[in-house]
Amino acid sequence: MKKLNSNQSGIALMIVLWVLVLLMALATEFAFSMKMEVNTTRNYKEDTESYYLAKAGINLALAELLKDASFHSIHDEHGWIAGAGNSANTPATDAENAPAEGGGGFDIVNRTNIELGNGTITYTIQDENGKIPV
């Protein structure tokens, strides 16, 4: 019997190398897709938090605008202000009508860096009546 001369000594190595390249490509694609999924989830979470922080700021401004007050005005330093209001059920006393210390008879409301959850709220109230409609 004659032994056949074959050149298949490196074919197993080539198959193993191609399988490794294919597995590395699959692992890289999987890692990339997981990174994109994490980024998408984080963006959605931050978008939702931002939406509800904005809604909270709007509700704070509305509550400030709708509260009972004896007057409303624009103050140079504090912006929109409201005078300390009296409830319809409680009569005003001289102590209630006296100017508050440092407040000049009006409520000073903090509108900057109000911490809520993972974020902060800053809002302003502006008078739109002085603007010219274009």
Judge whether 129 lies within some domain: no
pLDDT digits (tens, 9 = 90+) for 79-117: 777 776 655 544 444 444 444 444 456 667 778 888 988
Quick one: how many helices (H) and strands (E) in the chain?
2, 5
Query: Structural domain tally of the chain?
Result: 1
Candidates 63, 47, 48; CA nearest to 123 is: 63
Classify residue 59 as left (phi > 0), alpha (psi -120 to 50) or beta: alpha
Judge whether 23 lies within some domain: yes
Query: How distant, in Å, are the alpha carbons of 7, 25, 56, 124 from that of 11?
Result: 9, 21, 68, 74
Judge whether 31 lies within some domain: yes
What CA–CA distance (Å, rounded) separates 98 from 17?
88
Helix, strand, coil percent values for the chain (each to nearest 5): 45, 15, 40
Q: pTM for the whole thing? A: 0.60
> Which SS3 state, helix, strand or coil, does residue 116 take?
strand
What domain range is 92 assigned to?
11-121
Tokens 């999924």 map to which residue?
Answer: 37
pLDDT digits (tens, 9 = 90+) for 31-47: 999 999 999 999 999 99
Judge whether 21 lies within some domain: yes
Q: Which residue has the higher pLDDT, 130 or 59?
A: 59
Average pLDDT over residues 114-124: 89
